Amino acid sequence: MAGIVFEKKGKTAYVILNRPEQRNAVDLGMRQGLYDAWEEIEKDSDIWSIILTGGEKDFSTGQDLTELTEFRKREPTADLPLNNLETFGMNVKKPVIAAISGYCLGAGFLLTLVASDIRVASDTAIFGMPEIKVGVPLGFGIPPLLARHFSPAINIELIMLGHNISAQDAYRSGYVNKVVSPRDLIAQAEKYADEVNTLSPFLVKKIKEISRYIAAPDPKEIALSNAICMLCRHSEDYVEGPRAFKEKRKPEWKGR
């Protein structure tokens, strides 16, 4: 599977982001790999739990902006292929434990937001939505999704200012279940998986279904967020931001 490593150990599947040279930036290959992995997991009745993880230095630094810039030259407003919540694990019915170390930004943050049910972070983990700094509007209903996990003050810092938060901040906000040392990260995730694997898979899936329903934003909030995102895709700043990032210079914002 392109962009990821997919493994099975007993009743647990491992989905490992695997573009280390690109700091696990999410490109089409990784999106395809994730899509294929979720499909395989749903078909395999012997898989009862999933561990989702990345590298020790970077869980994922977000969307591959080089790919996005090239795509925007051809398709100014359309979505990238397989760039949807289903690809990021929204519909996975089995419990997902995210093991997060290092930078977890943008699309990587989104992946932990929509795919995972339990989150273990190393004390090196850093969470953020830096899209505002490169002029990329937040799609997927990210603002209302984040608002279900963080206070209004933290949410504004994340999405309006592009500030990062530490693993401890995420723990205090209730987003992360446990913070451990990097060497204990996978072991702690496996403890959760082993515990899940002793439980009724039918009941666990139903509890996940109920929990997701309770935590889901109002459809009107998602619709408004996505409509604003599409409007922003027609702005000059949306073209300028990723271009400036690719050219390694400061963006020259037009405010329109």
Q: Can you state the percent helix, strand and coil of the chain, rounding each to 5?
A: 45, 20, 35
Q: Which CATH number does the domain housing residue 83 bear?
A: 3.90.226.10
| For residue 77, pLDDT beyond 80 | no
Of 247, 226, 108, 163, whose CA–CA distance to 239 is shortest? 247
How far apart are the C-alpha atoms of 177 and 107, rounded to whole Å? 20
29 token code pair: 């290959």
Q: pLDDT tens digit string along 39-54?
A: 999 999 999 999 999 9
pTM: 0.93
Q: What pLDDT is stored for residue 189 in this prediction? A: 98
Residue 35 lies in a domain: yes
Q: pLDDT (tens digit, 9 = 90+) per residue, 2-39?
A: 899 999 999 999 999 999 999 999 999 999 999 999 99
Tell me whether residue 66 is in a domain: yes
What amino acid is encoded at 114 in this protein?
Answer: V
Please, what is the end-to-end C-alpha distance for the chain in angstroms?
40
Structural domain that includes position 52: 4-201
Asked if residue 253 belongs to a domain, the reply is no
Within a domain: residue 130? yes
| Residue 148 within any structural domain of the chain | yes
For the chain, the domain total comes to 1
